[in-house]
Amino acid sequence: MNNNLSIINLAKQTIQIEADAISNLSSLVTEDFAHAVNLIYNTKGRVIITGVGKSAIIANKIVATLNSTGTPAVFMHAADAIHGDLGLILKEDVVICISKSGNTPEIKVLVPLIKRVKNKLIAITGNENSFLGQQADFILNAYVEKEACPNNLAPTTSTTAQLVIGDALAVCLLELRGFTSSDFAKFHPGGALGKKLYLRVRDISSANQKPQVEAHTNIKQVIIEITEKMLGVTSVVENNKIIGIITDGDLRRMLTKADNFASLTAKDIMSTNPKRIDANEMAIEALEIMEANEISQLLVEENGLYAGVVHLHDLIKEGII
């Protein structure tokens, strides 16, 4: 019990130390940050991000974030750069170098080589007065008072700070580029996230059968239509326009109310003004309508005409839920 309590307290302490450090970062943002963002935005080249150790891992993540939000970026390990990978850097590229101390041996070798070919250099460092800080064109201050590690050694708070600065860069660049959810979808076509951004109702409903009856259709044929089309629902149409809907629930309620239903027609039991969605809407919008109204199906329209059905199970199958 005491051991568990100690673990919980240490976890909370770690989170609080890092939260305080990140909160303090906003006070360290200067004009250099704005200049760095504008430099990257206006460059005709790419962003080359480099570092060693844990900073290299953070560099990789920032590269991934920039690439996915419209800013071409490439990772270059600082140690490998001085053994041949320096050729990655092209004339128009902007280089971001990440280093907590700014004084590591690899950085001291790499930075003069970058400066020699006149590429602009942005430093993300916790030490503005370091070798890296003094050589950089712009400094993004990632200073933290201490690591969350009890020994103040393992990179924890410092790497979190680097990561947050990278996110801030990406968000500012995203805003400048007018990067939209549609743009985001182009870079994330796979998985559930991508489907939420690009999958439209038509893409799903077109794969389903299209149950429909007319207002005068007798109940037996309504039951057959719902059963054969296997969506638990049928639309009621007139001149291919939706005038109502009949669900499995409507049929069950009919059975509890009518002793003889042989003479009933679709018009007698249908619900009017059913929830519907345009085929061009995003699939995620269909889910939101279903959840808000606690229903499992939506009728689909296209150009004002009945176009099919989208079912909750379709959204589950596609990974939208």
CB 247 within 8 A of CB 233: yes
| Share above pLDDT 70 across residues of the chain, in percent, rounded to a whole number | 94
Q: What was the pLDDT predicted at 102?
A: 94
Domain match, 123 and 162 both: yes
Domain match, 44 and 175 both: yes
Q: Is the pLDDT of residue 1 over 60?
A: no
What is the overall mean pLDDT for the chain?
90
Residues 8-23: what's their mean pLDDT?
93
Domain match, 160 and 263 both: no
Residue 263 placed within a domain: yes
Domain match, 246 and 173 both: no
The rounded distance, in Å, linking the Cα atoms of 30 and 43 is 21
Residue 191 placed within a domain: no
Domain holding 228: CATH number?
3.10.580.10
Q: What was the pLDDT predicted at 182?
A: 63
Q: How many domains does the chain have?
A: 2
Tell me the pLDDT tens digit for each residue of 147-206: 998 888 788 999 999 999 999 999 999 999 987 766 665 665 555 555 666 688 998 888
Residue 188 placed within a domain: no
Residue 118 placed within a domain: yes
Domain match, 42 and 140 both: yes
Domain match, 29 and 96 both: yes
Residues 23-33: what's their mean pLDDT?
95
Domain match, 132 and 246 both: no
Residues 125-137: what's their mean pLDDT?
95
Domain boundary, last residue among 121, 144, 179: 179
Domain match, 207 and 171 both: no
When pLDDT is cut at 50, 70 and 90, the band that residue 145 belongs to is very high
Residue 226 placed within a domain: yes
Domain boundary, last residue among 179, 212, 235: 179
SS3 content of the chain, % helix, strand, coil (to 5): 50, 20, 30
Distances (CA, A) of 210 to 54, 103, 124, 220, 298: 56, 68, 58, 18, 12
Residues 34-39: what's their mean pLDDT?
97
Domain match, 295 and 210 both: yes
Amino acid identity of residue 93, one-letter, is D
Amino acid identity of residue 23, one-letter, is S
Domain match, 268 and 305 both: yes
Tell me the pLDDT tens digit for each residue of 50-74: 999 999 999 999 999 999 888 999 9
Q: What was the pLDDT predicted at 255?
A: 83
Residue 189 placed within a domain: no
Residue 196 placed within a domain: no
Longest CA–CA span in the chain (Å) reads 93
Residue 192 placed within a domain: no
The rounded distance, in Å, linking the Cα atoms of 303 and 6 is 63
Which range marks the domain in which residue 97 is found?
A: 2-179
Distances (CA, A) of 42 to 47, 211, 213, 220: 11, 54, 59, 68
Tell me the pLDDT tens digit for each residue of 195-240: 666 688 998 888 899 999 999 999 999 999 999 999 999 999 999 9
Q: Residue 77, annotated ligand binder? A: yes
Within 13 Å and on the Cβ side, how many CA atoms surround 275?
18
Domain boundary, last residue among 179, 209, 229: 179
Buried b (16+ CB within 10 A) or exposed e, 164-201: bbbebbbebbbeeeebeeebbbeebeeeeebbbbbbbb
Q: What was the pLDDT predicted at 192?
A: 53
User: What 3-state class would DSSP assign to 284?
Assistant: helix
Domain match, 146 and 251 both: no
The rounded distance, in Å, linking the Cα atoms of 159 and 223 is 63
Domain match, 121 and 236 both: no
Domain holding 156: CATH number?
3.40.50.10490
